[in-house]
Structure 1
Amino acid sequence: MSYDRFGGIYSYPGYGYGYGNRYGSSSRYGSNYYNRWGSSGDGNSYTSPYNRNYRYGRRRRRPNYWERNRPWYNNYRRYRNTRSPSPAREETRPPPPPPEVPEVPEVPEDELAKELFVKDVDLHIGMNAKKHRTDEYTCTQGKDAELIVRRGDKVKMTITFDRPYNKEKNDLKLCFSLGPSPKANKGTLALFEIDESGKEKFGLDKWGANLTSRDDAKSEITVMVSIPANCIIGEWSFFVRTISEGKSEDGKPKEIIGKDFQLEDDITILFNPWCKDDPVYMSDGELLEEYVLNENGSVWRGSYNTLSPKPWNYGQFETDILDASLSLIRLGFGDKLKPMSDPVKVSRMIAKMVNANNDNGVLIGRWGKDYSGGEVPWSWVGSLKILRKWIKDGPVKYGQCWVFACVATTVCRALGIPCRTVTNFESAHDTNGSNTVETYFKPGSGGFLEKDEHHRENDSIWNFHVWNEVWMARNDLQEFTEHGWQVIDATPQESSDGYMQCGPCPVRAIKNGVCTVNYDCGFIFTEVNGDEIHWITYPDGSEERKRIIKDSVGKNISTRKPGEQTERLDVTNEYKYKEGSKEERIAVMKAHETARFPNPDTYANVEKVKPIKFDLILRDDVMIGSIMPIKLVAKNEASRERTITKGEIIVSQAAYTGHTGKDILKEEFGPVTLKAGEEKIFEARLHPDKYLDYLVELANIAIVAEAQIEPIGGRDDEEEFYMKRASRFRRPDLKIEGPKTAKVGDVAKFTVILENPLDKPLTGCKISMESVGFDDFDLKDVNNIKPKEVWKMEFPLKTVKAARHSAVYFSFECEEIPDISGYSIIKISA
């Protein structure tokens, strides 16, 4: 694999957090893999994983996976009114083994009168959904409503018979089953009698039901079913079995087992963060409102001095999203259902399956210039279109880190795992397991060191990187057992246990440098607090450590402030102690000592103290199309004169992953002599005509400042200063004007406004939208926008459902300025 200086089309190298290649991969998506279905991993040719139906319930009487051989999931979607008739196909699989449920014997005709028949089971879907906080799922509403509940809680059911239920002569058994071959010892089968005393209590890991009332006039009873807090999540089949007293042919007493009453729809069971016995339990109800129930969000991007939020529609309660989320983890676990009871294993599987590098997951990653055949990553404004497209067609093109993370947030919240999207600015990417950020230089012809681009262990520092935090107890660990945030990362960077997956890892372990904790703690520690190490490589193959930069990594770690759409919550202190403090240095050294592949020469000797202090000052409010001023401040902190023999400021085009391309500005200065305590400012100005034609993707640039200082006392080694900073130009926001309230069935009119900041027209303009509560539209072409023009366009949108957290998100694309978006919050009532 190769790439040009800017990066072109490049991948993340794999290095050995598992079985990946150590120094790279031939796959342009991050790994040269072949999954169990024969996929080449490029998203273009694969054997569909949906030759296996990873949904195990009886919903809509659809056939199970061994009875079908159909591509993808669109032929058996959850909703009947959206499903097309499927042509008959030959069965290609043998029938499944029978489940471990006792067979029901045939009842002789003369004894049918003694059998108790179940006529109906009322699941009280509205009441149960509200009690379990699942009433916002679209599938719990309307005439085809289905029951979604959370484990560790009780479910009310009313069972109606053909005659009054007699406690002395009748008994009932309830059965929940999951999968093609349910077994009690695998946690996939529960067959139990109803406690008629109404007093029995059922523990953490026990299914059960209490009889709470009976109405002989209506021939019905009401029961409360207890779901264990550690049961497997998923779509469970359910039936009721009656047992009645009767007599055999010789007149002896005999049990008559009635015909099972099977529910047409299955019952979906999710994690329960409101239950103290569930590992995902979170005690703060206001935080649960944000991290489980809120469908709106923002993700921070940019650089640490020019950070800004991009609005995102999580939409975890919308049509098809829960189906997609459950299918995604089943696809990863295959026939192993027991792990789906453990949020640690489920969250790790989500990190693995949201990217398409293994097992035909959701998103194909692409970092480079060519996005043909798919959507550019910054055009997405929500998870709905991505997950629905995956359900229909398979892996979706294309994603980058914030897209992977936002889709993972949707899946986690849909399944009941508290989750938030987190951005780390100046985020390191360690490729060799040293728990440091190593960059290699070589002597250059111009006097300054030049980056050794071909050194196999060059690490990088991204402008920003986005991952997720999930809230859960880590009962699988000894040191960190309390509830807390755990990092998972769905972006395919480095392989872990042979797959592109990362986490969950306790944030507290990262902060303390305890890198032996599962999972991937060393890699994440380096992202937020690794020391940046510069090495010089000489022609004879020897290497020399040049400098250690201790404060360049992990800045302004950000997530959305709960309840505030565009307000930032800084969580840097949760990941690292104060920069330069004793505790922070202890954590860094502990991480170094427990690295997988530590370099023993990294901290071998004490560094020299530089007598001239430099600071690179960048403005964070420069709009694209304007002049960007750059200042380098040098202060002589020595007690005598010092001379800067020469220096330069270089500006290059850049990707947000740290890869740089063409130099677009170079300003040289020196020699300059500074008296003791004197300060000098060196300036450069970047004009639009220098950069507009060279900006790529997110309008990032890289600024490098270098200087050489004359030696003291006849020493023959010059002191050298080097600093690299990332910045980006601000893009205009879409201003959205619309109503604050609406009712289902109304047509709400939204006006989209954009001011062109450039002295040239915006061309190739397109707009799209995604929402909670509206009838969305796909990409639409719009007219070019003239220089400095204020463009307006009205969009009438029909409301289709009520929602507490309603919003509409617009995305605008053009050739000159990528990634322009805006949103409007609206409350839709029934």
Structure 2
Amino acid sequence: MLSEGWAKVYITVEGDSGDIECCCEKKDSHMEDLSLQYVNLEESENLERHRTQGFRSSKALVVRRGAPFRVSLQLEGRTFDPKTDFLRIKVMLGSLYVIIPVTSSKKVSSSSWNAYIDPEGLNLQRPSIFICSPASASVGYYRFQLCVFTQDSRTACAIGKFILLCNPWCREDAVYVPFEDQREEYVQNDSGLLFMGTPMNLVSRPWSFDQYEPGVLEACLNLLQVSPRHQKNTRLDYLNRNNPVYISRVVSAMINSEDDLGVLKGNWSDDFKQGVHPSMWTGSGDILKQWAQSGYSPVKYGQCWVFAAVMCTVMRVLGIPCRVVTNFNSAHDTNANLVIEEYYTETGQKLNVSKDSIWNFHVWVECYMTRRDLGPGMDGWQVLDPTPQERSGGEFCCGPAPVKAIKDRRIDMPYDIPFVYAEVNADVLSIIVSKGRVISYSKDTEKVGSLILTKAIGFPIHQNITGDYKHIKSPTSSLTPRRSTMSRDSTLSRGSSNGVSVSLTLDRAHVAGEPVCFAVKVINRQNVAKKMKVHFNAQAKEYNHGPSDAFWETHGVIKLAPMEAKVVHQQILPAEYAHVLGDNLINLAVVVEDMDSQERVLASEEFNIASPHLTVQVADSIVPNKVQTASVSFTNPFSHPVSGVLTVAGAGLIQGKVNFRVLSLCPGGRMEQHITFVPSMVGTKMLQASLSLTNISSTIRGFKMVSVHGA
């Protein structure tokens, strides 16, 4: 309540980060001898100090916890006297608040809110105040009120706002990362690669995380606000937002829309008419902004890599180091027995009869944090999976599960370690059935979790992190994917019995437009001649589903002398697999049958046929705010004409997306499209292009990393 004889005066001044509202009390009869005109949030300096320059478009100042930010006061009248005048700041997060006295001591505590005035500016009309949050402050949208109290008990106040994020640069923060290159990659990098396909034939899909695009920061903060936990108990939610474990579970649940007003609706059917096919998304920005602008209606549609990539964006925005991880041959063990059963017919067709499944690849994220709730040894990377598969604590979320706990099978710890452990360690039991009866089976202990990858720091290549998750028998290169999927000594690619063994080998990674060539080696291990039936078949499948009916098959008979080995060569022609291209994989199987004993041996492999690439070229010298030119080219490798739509995008390079229509391109024909763009940000950016073909269910992609140098 205002005291008698005083009136409240508001002054609005345009500062570096928008309007700062000021008010003061004054006597009706005369002006106060010391007045506060406005507060400047010194946006440019603070954004640089807190490494939040990318969020310049935000309507509020964006800073990181555990580090001071500077505000300057514009005073009028007499000089500020620290002996009789004092300053006080009230910081508010929702209904929570803390009142901070402004001192003259620079000694601050990392565990509490502090503020101090720059002693060098006391005799000036524009003194500076440094406000420092604790390293464990809650993430969110703050308001603050700064008041000047004079010797006559008169006050002048200013009202401002700021957004507070986690701080991987602060040693006391639970998300602290000690290396600058890791902070640049896992917090600041706004583009990356998502790995798909198979271990022998990796597909590197470019993705724009878009965390600095206008509206994305606000959408990420709104995600916390509309979560069920915030709606149920606002005060408790604000208090818990100091903990990255809590934040990560909220975000994991909110990325999918199964329990709440989450961002993405999953769809693993063949019908995407009500939305966008998951493979058509190229970045997180469009998804998050569409979700926020629609009043938090779920965006249609997502699959695992989309869920993971969007979560990576949200976590990086909130200041929690995050990276996208791909687990190849990822098990979904529904009965928790660590065994995945796969069933085949006597001629090698894979059947869809098991509730368990193996996804050729599954994509999740890892976030870096200290696990103070688990004790020493569990700090570091934590698995979080926003794809809705199983409930955790009543919600469709997963994690954070320490990677170290998964490797050591610490299934006694939270959260969801048994589920993730099975995803990378389950055994595979391959069973041949005939007329409802099991006639043969074999076990593979190496297929599941055969390769686990993430993007390498600073380079557009992959990093092998399989050894972080499991104890592997032999070391594998961190830069080269294991080719063991096609040649390992296992009973999936190598079946054996007492009398016969069979192995299946693909000669190379295959690209659309080339024949698929493979060899089957059959060895007679007995001293008697054998006559063998050989059944080959290929079935198309999606990465997370069982295969459809066979689209290619052939059968034959071979004769083997005692202890003889024979190699049978086969190929599938482009015309025979053209209709199953796109994001499909192929399940290839061979069953060898002893015509005398009816004994059968199975060998199988699942592989992908990679799409050709677009070539993106950019000039070497790129500077911001200057028109630049790039070119995108493509040569048609197919045996028929193709046409489609070319889309080019790049966060920090191009506003929105640019589309071009590609008319009929004959076999062997080449197209080249030139694009102009104006970079808006300094740093390494990704220019990505995609060509969606209209007469083939396929998308051709390409990207180029662009270094934008300061002028």
TM-score class, shorter: 0.7 to 0.9
TM-score with structure 2 setting the length: 0.86
Superposition pairs for residues 99-498 of structure 1, below 5 Å? 109=28, 113=32, 116-139=34-57, 146-162=60-76, 163-179=78-94, 181-182=95-96, 189-196=97-104, 198=105, 200-204=107-111, 206-215=112-121, 218-246=124-152, 256=153, 258-263=155-160, 266-332=161-227, 333-334=229-230, 335=234, 336-393=237-294, 394-439=297-342, 447=346, 453-454=352-353, 457-478=354-375, 480-481=377-378, 483-498=379-394
Q: Deviations 1:230-285 (Å, cap 9, x if unpaired)?
A: 11111110111222333xxxxxxxxx25143112xx21111111111111111111
Match status 1:571 vs 2:465: yes
Q: Is the 8 A contact 1:472 1:484 kept in 2?
A: yes
Alpha-carbon separation, structure 2, partners of 1:757 and 1:608? 39
For 2:587, what is the secondary structure of its paired residue? strand
The one-letter code of the counterpart of 2:542 is: A
For 1:698, what is the secondary structure of its paired residue? coil
Q: Is the 8 A contact 1:304 1:463 kept in 2?
A: no
Alpha-carbon separation, structure 1, partners of 2:431 and 2:515? 35
**Aligned residue number for residue 587 of structure 1:** none
1:634 and 1:138, CA in 2 relative to 1: closer, same or farther beyond 3 A? farther
Q: Deviations 1:551-574 (Å, cap 9, x if unpaired)?
A: 121122111111111x22111111
For 2:363, what is the secondary structure of its paired residue? strand
Q: Is the 8 A contact 1:381 1:770 kept in 2?
A: no
Q: Deviations 1:704-730 (Å, cap 9, x if unpaired)?
A: 22234579xxxx8x6543333211112
Alpha-carbon separation, structure 1, partners of 2:496 and 2:519? 25
1:232 and 1:679, CA in 2 relative to 1: closer, same or farther beyond 3 A? same
Q: Is the 8 A contact 2:349 2:537 kept in 1?
A: no
C-alpha displacement of 1:109 = 4.5
**Aligned residue number for residue 686 of structure 1:** 572
Alpha-carbon separation, structure 1, partners of 2:698 and 2:82? 70
For 2:391, what is the secondary structure of its paired residue? coil
The one-letter code of the counterpart of 1:486 is: Q
Alpha-carbon separation, structure 2, partners of 1:478 and 1:709? 58
Alpha-carbon separation, structure 2, partners of 1:410 and 1:495? 23
1:674 and 1:223, CA in 2 relative to 1: closer, same or farther beyond 3 A? farther
1:105 and 1:282, CA in 2 relative to 1: closer, same or farther beyond 3 A? closer
Q: Is the 8 A contact 1:436 1:530 kept in 2?
A: yes
The one-letter code of the counterpart of 2:171 is: K
1:619 and 1:355, CA in 2 relative to 1: closer, same or farther beyond 3 A? farther
The one-letter code of the counterpart of 1:113 is: E
Q: Is the 8 A contact 2:501 2:523 kept in 1?
A: yes
Alpha-carbon separation, structure 1, partners of 2:570 and 2:444? 24
1:538 and 1:619, CA in 2 relative to 1: closer, same or farther beyond 3 A? closer
Match status 1:507 vs 2:403: yes
Q: Is the 8 A contact 1:313 1:772 kept in 2?
A: no
Moved more, 292-301 or 819-828: 819-828
C-alpha displacement of 1:317 = 2.0
Superposition pairs for residues 664-703 of structure 1, below 5 Å? 664-670=551-557, 672-673=559-560, 675-676=562-563, 678-695=564-581, 697-703=582-588
TM-score with structure 1 setting the length: 0.74
For 1:326, what is the secondary structure of its paired residue? helix
Q: Deviations 1:787-808 (Å, cap 9, x if unpaired)?
A: 2211122222344x12212232
Alpha-carbon separation, structure 1, partners of 2:64 and 2:698? 42
Match status 1:821 vs 2:701: yes
Which residue of 521, 527, 531 maps to 2:423?
527
**Aligned residue number for residue 811 of structure 1:** 690
C-alpha displacement of 1:191 = 0.7
Q: Is the 8 A contact 2:631 2:674 kept in 1?
A: yes
C-alpha displacement of 1:105 = 12
C-alpha displacement of 1:824 = 2.4
The one-letter code of the counterpart of 1:667 is: T
For 1:741, what is the secondary structure of its paired residue? coil
C-alpha displacement of 1:459 = 1.3
Structure holding more strand per residue: 2
**Aligned residue number for residue 510 of structure 2:** 622
Superposition pairs for residues 704-719 of structure 1, below 5 Å? 704-709=589-594, 719=599
Q: Deviations 1:584-607 (Å, cap 9, x if unpaired)?
A: xxxxxxxxxxxxxxxxxxxxxxx9
**Aligned residue number for residue 538 of structure 2:** 651
The one-letter code of the counterpart of 1:165 is: F
Alpha-carbon separation, structure 2, partners of 1:539 and 1:689? 34
C-alpha displacement of 1:662 = 2.5
Relative contact order (alpha carbons < 8 A, sep ≥ 6): 1 or 2 greater? 1
The one-letter code of the counterpart of 2:306 is: V
Alpha-carbon separation, structure 2, partners of 1:580 and 1:128? 49
For 2:119, what is the secondary structure of its paired residue? strand
The one-letter code of the counterpart of 1:806 is: K
1:106 and 1:161, CA in 2 relative to 1: closer, same or farther beyond 3 A? closer
Aligned sequence identity (%): 27
For 1:723, what is the secondary structure of its paired residue? strand
C-alpha displacement of 1:580 = 9.2
1:357 and 1:770, CA in 2 relative to 1: closer, same or farther beyond 3 A? farther
Which residue of 713, 732, 737 maps to 2:612?
732
Alpha-carbon separation, structure 1, partners of 2:529 and 2:247? 59
C-alpha displacement of 1:413 = 1.1
Q: Deviations 1:762-809 (Å, cap 9, x if unpaired)?
A: 13445343432322325543322222211122222344x122122321
Alpha-carbon separation, structure 1, partners of 2:614 and 2:499? 48
The one-letter code of the counterpart of 1:267 is: F
The one-letter code of the counterpart of 1:725 is: E
The one-letter code of the counterpart of 1:559 is: T
Where structure 2 has 5 or more consecutive residues not aligned to the other structure, the ranges are: 1-11, 476-494
The one-letter code of the counterpart of 2:361 is: F
C-alpha displacement of 1:106 = 7.7
The one-letter code of the counterpart of 1:347 is: S
Q: Deviations 1:96-146 (Å, cap 9, x if unpaired)?
A: xxxxxxxx99876469737x5322223222222212111232327xxx7x4
**Aligned residue number for residue 721 of structure 1:** 601
1:779 and 1:386, CA in 2 relative to 1: closer, same or farther beyond 3 A? farther
The one-letter code of the counterpart of 2:352 is: E
Q: Is the 8 A contact 2:357 2:545 kept in 1?
A: yes
C-alpha displacement of 1:679 = 3.0
C-alpha displacement of 1:545 = 9.6
1:347 and 1:627, CA in 2 relative to 1: closer, same or farther beyond 3 A? same
Alpha-carbon separation, structure 2, partners of 1:552 and 1:226? 51
The one-letter code of the counterpart of 1:688 is: P
Q: Deviations 1:303-338 (Å, cap 9, x if unpaired)?
A: 121112111212222221211111112222322222
The one-letter code of the counterpart of 1:578 is: I
Superposition pairs for residues 767-786 of structure 1, below 5 Å? 767-777=647-657, 779-786=659-666
For 1:117, what is the secondary structure of its paired residue? strand
C-alpha displacement of 1:229 = 0.7
**Aligned residue number for residue 621 of structure 2:** 741
1:530 and 1:257, CA in 2 relative to 1: closer, same or farther beyond 3 A? farther
Alpha-carbon separation, structure 2, partners of 1:318 and 1:562? 22
Q: Is the 8 A contact 2:623 2:682 kept in 1?
A: no
Alignment length (residue pairs): 664
